[in-house]
Structure formats: C-alpha cells, structure tokens
C-alpha cells in the first residue's frame, strides 16, 4: 500500500469527482492524508474523509497563508474538539514568500508555535509548509526537539542534513527536477515520504492521490525496491494505518 502524505481533496477542483478519484486510488493501492488549511477547509476535509474511511485519514491545521485572516483560538478549539478523528496537525508553518511584513510573519509564528504545542499535547505528528523560511523552521524544530515533523513538498537539498538532524521527515512531491533527484540520492532510509499536494504539482493538469505512485517509482529507480517500500512503511506507521 502506497501513502500520499499530503493531499487537498476538499479543493474545488475535485467537486463532483471524488468517487472516481477514490476508485483510481483503490486500483493503484493508494491511501492519503487529506489535509486542511483553515476552519472552512478543515470542516470539508472531515466530511470527505468520513465518506472514504478506507482510503483517507485527516490532518487539520491553520496554514501560514490563513494565519493572518483567521482566529487562531477558534481554529485550535476546532482541532482539539475533533482530535479523535485526526492523524496529524497540518498544514502549519511559515511562508515568507508571499508575506513580507513583519506583523504578518509574527502572526504566522504565533499560529505555528501554538499548533506545535497542540501537537505535542495530543501526541500527533505535524505537517509543515515552509517557503523562504526553511532555515527558521528547521532551527525551531531542532530547538524544540519536536518529534514526528514532516516537511511537506521539501525541495531544498542543501538543507537536507539540517532537516534530518533536527529529526524531520522530508516529503517529496510529484515534481520531476534535479533537486528531487539529489534528495533521493542522499536522504537516509526511513526519513523520506511521498506526496502529491493534490490538486497541485502535476504536469499538464490536476493532480490526485493515485499519482503518488510516480514518486515511489523514482525512489525505486534511484535507490531500489526496499528503499521505496520503507518509505511507504514509514508513512503507514507515522499516520497510524
């Protein structure tokens, strides 16, 4: 069984198509972590996951993109209320690419740290979005000794050693490029995961969880079948399948 560690099936691109998407997942032997980003999307994620309990688990979180426009305490309360339905807190993190003002970044930091604390309280892994803030995120995780942190869509080979020394898992997306090859060739076995970030990051159209087989195929091509199988086994254990 293959695991797509990061998908957004509540996205409008999947409206009216989820039954077909689910059938392709079954045929491909894929399960997925269905991931929220704000209060509205978290509610939709829970509803969709409940429709396909054999295929999906739920991650709930307040993303850095939404930290400036949503109430943090309301989001924390919603996650805590639904903790028994959650396999991870995510996506959370820091994004300095789109947010340049220091007051915006401080709100992101406050939301990020509060959700890291909540994950520790609930004994759940965290799924982290970071863009142009990777060094700060990795440093914070290393200082906290935060267990079971997943850096989603990780494409920074120069930071791979720092990330793994901080105890992070790196999750590789369905993007074919030299950075992904470099990470696969260097990463320690058992520290790499695979994802689609559906509906994003697919050549020529909408992505979906069944396509995660492409990433596992690249792991097998570059590091061997056992290495790819270990990536799937690590994800299954991490997210509680």
- When the pLDDT of each residue in the chain is averaged and rounded to a whole number, the result is 97
Q: Which CATH class is domain 2-238?
A: alpha beta
pLDDT tens column, 195-234: 999 999 999 899 999 999 999 999 999 999 999 999 999 9
pLDDT bucket at 85, cuts 50 / 70 / 90? very high
pLDDT tens column, 157-192: 999 999 999 999 999 999 999 999 999 999 999 999
CA distance 142 to 199: 31
What pLDDT, on a 0 to 100 scale, did the predictor assign at position 147? 79
* Cα atoms found within 13 Å of the Cα of residue 102, Cβ hemisphere only: 0
CB burial of 176-200 (b: ≥16 within 10 Å; e: otherwise) equals eeeebeebbeebeeebbbbbbbbbb
CA distance 3 to 31: 5
For residue 240, which phi and psi values (nearest 5 degrees)? 80, 30
Distances in Å between the alpha carbon of 89 and those of 48, 160, 168? Answer: 17, 22, 15
The average pLDDT across 41-52 equals: 98
Q: Is the pTM of this model over 0.85?
A: yes
The average pLDDT across 116-135 equals: 97
Which neighbouring-strand residues pair with 151?
Answer: 128, 170
Indicate whether 120 pLDDT > 90.
yes
Handedness of CA 141, 94, 238, 164 (dihedral sign): negative
What pLDDT, on a 0 to 100 scale, did the predictor assign at position 146? 84
**Helix pair 102-122, 134-144: axis angle to 10 deg:** 40
Domain chopping of the chain, boundaries: 2-238
What pLDDT, on a 0 to 100 scale, did the predictor assign at position 190? 97
pLDDT tens column, 141-151: 999 998 799 99
């Amino acid at each position: 069984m293959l695991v797509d560690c990061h998908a957004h099936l509540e996205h409008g691109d999947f409206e009216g198509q989820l039954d077909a998407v689910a059938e392709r997942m079954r045929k491909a032997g894929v399960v997925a972590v269905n991931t929220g980003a704000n209060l509205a999307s978290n509610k939709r994620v829970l509803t969709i996951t409940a429709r396909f309990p054999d295929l999906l688990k739920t991650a709930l979180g307040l993303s850095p993109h939404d930290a400036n426009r949503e109430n943090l305490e309301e989001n924390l309360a919603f996650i805590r209320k639904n903790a028994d339905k959650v396999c991870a807190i995510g996506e959370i993190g820091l994004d300095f690419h789109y947010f340049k003002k220091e007051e915006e970044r401080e709100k992101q930091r406050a939301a990020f740290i509060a959700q890291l604390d909540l994950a520790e309280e609930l004994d759940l892994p965290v799924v982290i979005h970071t863009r142009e803030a990777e060094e700060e995120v990795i440093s914070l995780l290393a200082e906290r000794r935060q267990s079971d942190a997943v850096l989603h869509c990780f494409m920074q080979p120069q930071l791979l050693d720092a990330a793994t020394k901080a105890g992070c898992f790196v999750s590789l997306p369905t993007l074919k490029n030299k950075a992904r090859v470099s990470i696969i060739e260097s990463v320690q076995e058992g520290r790499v995961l695979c994802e689609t970030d559906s509906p994003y990051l697919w050549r020529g159209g909408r992505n979906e969880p069944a396509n995660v087989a492409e990433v596992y195929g690249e792991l097998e091509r570059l590091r061997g079948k056992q290495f790819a199988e270990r990536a799937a086994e690590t994800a299954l254990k991490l997210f509680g399948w």
